[in-house]
Amino acid sequence: MLRVSPVPGNPTPPAAPWLALQDNGLARSRQRASDTRRQHDASLPRIWHCLACDWQITSEQERVAIAGDSVYRRVNPAGIAFEFSCFGAAPGCRTVGCETGEHTWFAGYHWRVALCGHCLTHLGWRFRSTDDRFFGLIVQRLRFAAPDALH
Binding letters toward Zn ion, positions 111-150, x by CB under 5 A: -----x-xx-x-----------------------------
Query: Residue from 47, 50, 86, 115 that binds Zn ion (CB under 5 A)?
Result: 50
- Measured between alpha carbons, how far is 117 from 119 in angstroms, rounded to an integer? 6
SS3 18: helix
Rule CB under 5 A: which of 71-110 touch Zn ion? Answer: none
Q: Does 66 bind Zn ion (CB under 5 A)?
A: no
Least separation in angstroms between CB 49 and Zn ion: 8
* CA 60 to chain centroid: 9
Least separation in angstroms between CB 9 and Zn ion: 19
Burial pattern 131-144, b for ≥16 Cβ within 10 A else e, equals eeebbbbbbebbee
